[in-house]
Amino acid sequence: EQARPLIDRYLAAIERWCGLDRDALGIRARSFLPLLENFSIDFVEEVRGLAEGARIPLDHALLCQVRLEAMRAAEGCSAFAITAGATVDGRTLAGQNQDLEPEYDSVGIILRLRPDDGRPRATCFTFAGQLGYAGMNEYGVANFANALFNHAWRPGLPFYPLRRGFLECRSVAECTGLARRWHACSAANFVFCDGAGGIADVEIRGADVVEYRGPLTDARLHTNHYLTDGFRGFEDGTSTDSPCRLDRLATLMQAGWGAWDVEPLKHLLADHAGAPAGICRHGAGGTHSIAGYIADPSRGVLHVRRGHGCTGVWTAYDV
């Protein structure tokens, strides 16, 4: 109930972005309920608990979980996962900048997930009422995402519940297996890491999933255009600055190879080359880097930044 004012603000923002009221959008959201029940009864029970606790209709609580699908929207980002030879002590690190419209900043929260049914505890940055987003669990499994384009929206599993599912996995292999078992509504890329040093990157287009390895053995770098051989032919240049951001990300990674740690990565996420459409984004296409994340699995810490990479404040959360 304490979160209801923020949830209401989030729902009001969704209404503005969609040009429809939450009741109409909620009807659309409810159509996903059978699929969500098939995906995870536990997740649906949490959504019902959210509705009851915040005293909002179930349709509105569901809308918070399927915002992208309700809006037919996409999210830009620059993401990475590095391990072994790339880092100062060989440990695994992963993260990203979250590029969205600035209105999202006012409804961002830290959500600590503490299930009592055997599922792993996790910590994530998300939006009020939304039960899955960018974060890390007690096994060091973290997921970060990049929007991809040129794919028609179609019936399938929404990405936010899928991301919550990733936070219930115990390894990178489980994450990629989960991605392959479910048909998604649209297209996206996911970067994963885990506490055993594993990293992975998968591009998803509906029912099709292709793993991206890239030119660097100990790194996975991705922005907002297709990189796999299987999907490169679908690239239409929607995100015009994505190739430049990826090139800059790769250049910086290679320049610091073998010395990367949390603090240098914070500076990487503040890079302004190509401004206003740099890694630290300042309004290009109407979006800003409203948050940033760095997962440190071996130490069980998720670093979260609120605001731009250049001015925002970082906080470390023990998972």
DSSP string, the chain: -TTHHHHHHHHHHHHHHHTS-HHHHHHHHHTTHHHHHHH-HHHHHHHHHHHHHHT--HHHHHHHHSHHHHHT---EEEEEEE-GGGBSSS--EEEEEEEE-GGGGGGEEEEEE--SSSPPPEEEEEETT----EEEETT--EEEEEE--S----SSB-HHHHHHHHTT-SSHHHHHHHHHHS-BSSEEEEEEE-TTS-EEEEEEETTEEEE---S-TTEEEE-SS--STTTGGG---SSTTHHHHHHHHHHHHHHTTT-B-HHHHHHHTT--TTTTBSSSBBSGGG-EEEEEEEEEGGGTEEEEEES-TTT-EEEEEE-
**How many domains does one find in the chain?**
2
pLDDT < 50 stretches in the chain: none
| Domain stops at, among 70, 101, 117 | 70
CATH number of the domain encompassing residue 141: 3.60.60.10
Q: Are residues 49 and 86 in the same domain?
A: no
Residues 262 and 304 in one domain: yes
pLDDT at 18: 86
Domain check: are 262 and 129 in the same one? yes
Residue 68 in contact with residue 159, Cβ under 8 Å? Answer: yes
pLDDT of residue 67: 86
Q: From 70, 91, 126, give the residue that closes a domain.
A: 70
Q: Tell me, yes or no, whether 230 and 261 share the same domain.
A: yes
Domain boundary at 70, 90, 123, which? 70
Say yes or no: 61 and 120 in one domain. Answer: no
pLDDT (0 to 100) of residue 74:
62
Enter the pTM of the model: 0.96
30 and 82 together in one domain: no
Q: Are residues 56 and 144 in the same domain?
A: no
Q: Are residues 125 and 241 in the same domain?
A: yes
By percentage, how much of the chain surpasses pLDDT 90? 92
Task: Verify that 122 and 49 share a domain, yes or no.
Answer: no
Tell me: do 99 and 169 sit in the same domain. Answer: yes
Q: Which domain holds residue 48?
A: 4-70
Query: In this structure, are 96 and 151 located in the same domain?
Result: yes
Would you state the pLDDT for residue 72?
A: 64
pLDDT value at residue 153: 85
Same domain? 129 vs 56: no
